[in-house]
Amino acid sequence: MTTNTIAEVKNPILSLNDLSIAYDKNYAVKNVSVEIKKNTVTAIMGPSGCGKSTLLRALNRMHELYENITTEGEALLNGKNIYEMPAIKLRRHMGMVFQRPNPFPTMSIYDNVIAGYKLNGIRTKKVERDEIVERSLRDVALWDEVKDSLFKKGTFLSGGQQQRLCIARALAFSPEVILMDEPTSALDPIATAKIEDLLVKLKEHYTIVLVTHNMSQAARISDYSLFMYLGELVEYGKTKNMFTNPIDPRTEEYLTGKFG
C-alpha cells in the first residue's frame, strides 16, 4: 500500500492505523492510516461509494448498527483506542451531523439542543441548561433567529436552520471532534454558505471531519484533505497542496473532473 501522507502531524487528536472495514467479506475501507490534527477542518473526498461514510461512521462506531460489519486495525482518540472504550462514552466525545437534518420531531428547539442530556438522563440545573442552549445556539448563529421561539417544535424551522440546530445539538456536549457526513447536500446555496462559515469558526474549539463530494466546498473550508478511491486512501495532505499540486494521478483526475 503506497499512501502519500504529509509529514507527521504533531499531537494528532485522531490516529487511524491500518483501519479496514468490511461488509460481510467486501472491504469498503482498506488499510487507511491517517493522523488528524486538532482544531482543523479535515475533508474526506472521493467518488460516491468509495467508503467515505463507512470510514466516518467507524469513528464514532455508528457502523456497529450494521450486524454484518467487521473492523480491523485501530483508531485512537487522544491516544486511546476507541474500540476498547464503551461506545456510549465515545459518542459523547464525537458529535455527529448527518446528511439530512434530523431534529427530534416531538421536541422543542430548546429540548433538541439539550437532547443529549435529556435522553441520557444527565441531571443539570435549569440555569445550566439555559446556558448550554444559548451557548450552543450562538455557536451555530441561530440564537438571534430562534430566541423568541425556543419552545416551538424544531421541525418548524427551515432546512438550513434545522441543520444548524442539529449542529447545536452535537455541540451541546462540547465534543472534541464533530463528524459530518455531507451536511449541506440537502440544503440550498445560501444555507450552505452559512454552514460553511460556521465550520470555519467552529474549528477554533473543535476538530471537524467533513465528508463531502463537493470539491469546491473542500477547497473553500478544509485545512487538510483525504482523497479516497475504492476504499483506499489515495492521498492525504494540506488541502492547498492537494488542489494545486496533487501527487497521485487518480487525485488529479478526480480534481479535474475526469471521474466521480
Partner 1 sequence: MESIDILKSQDHSSGRLLKDKLVLGAVIVLSLITISPIILIIWKLVVEGYRQISLDFLIENTPDTFEAMTAVANGELIPGGIANGIVGTLLMVILASALAIPIGILTGIYLYENQGSFMANITRDISDILQGVPSIVLGLISYLWIVKHITMGFSALAGSVSLAIMMLPMIVRSTEETLKMIPESLKEAALALGVPYHKVILRVLIPTGFSGLITGILLGISRILGETAPLMLTALGSSMINLDMTKPTSAIPLLIWEFYNDPNMVGLIWSSSLLLMAMILVLNLVSKQIVAKRR
Ligand X SMILES: Nc1ncnc2c1ncn2[C@@H]1O[C@H](COP(=O)(O)OP(=O)(O)O)[C@@H](O)[C@H]1O
Does residue 73 come out as left (phi exceeding 0), alpha (psi in the -120 to 50 range) or beta?
A: left
Instruction: Annotate each residue in 45-74 with x if it binds partner 1 (CB under 8 A) or - if it does not, as one string.
Output: ---------------x-x--x---------
Partner interacting with residue 66 (select from Mg ion, partner 1, ligand X, none; CB below 5-8 Å by kind):
ligand X
Place of cell 445550566: 128
Closer residue to partner 1 in complex, CB, 40/112: 112
Phi, psi of 38 (to 5 degrees): -65, 150
Task: Find the part of the chain contacting partner 1 (CB under 8 A) among 29-37, 116-124, 200-208, 238-246.
Answer: 116-124
Task: Find the part of the chain contacting partner 1 (CB under 8 A) among 34-42, 86-94, 134-142, 249-257.
Answer: 86-94
Task: Find the part of the chain contacting ligand X (CB under 6 A) among 47-55, 119-127, 198-206, 245-253.
Answer: 47-55
Cα(210)–Cα(124) distance, integer angstroms: 31
Least CB distance to Mg ion at residue 208 (A): 17
Say whether residue 168 binds partner 1 (CB under 8 A): no
The answer to whether 9 and 35 have CB atoms below 8 angstroms apart is yes
Closer residue to ligand X in complex, CB, 51/116: 51
Say whether residue 53 binds ligand X (CB under 6 A): yes
For 147-200, the three-class secondary structure string (H helix, E strand, C coil) is CCCCCCEHHHCCHHHHHHHHHHHHHCCCCCEEEEECCCCCCCHHHHHHHHHHHH
- Which among 203, 11, 209, 211 is positioned nearest to 94, based on CA atoms? 209
Least CB distance to ligand X at residue 48 (A): 4
Binding residues for partner 1 restricted to 179-198, rule: CB under 8 A: none
Q: Among 15, 40, 42, 53, indicate the residue that binds Mg ion (CB under 5 A).
A: 53
Q: How far apart, in Å, are the Cα atoms of 65 and each of 62, 114, 194, 210, 255?
A: 6, 24, 32, 21, 33
The site for Mg ion (CB under 5 A) is made up of 53
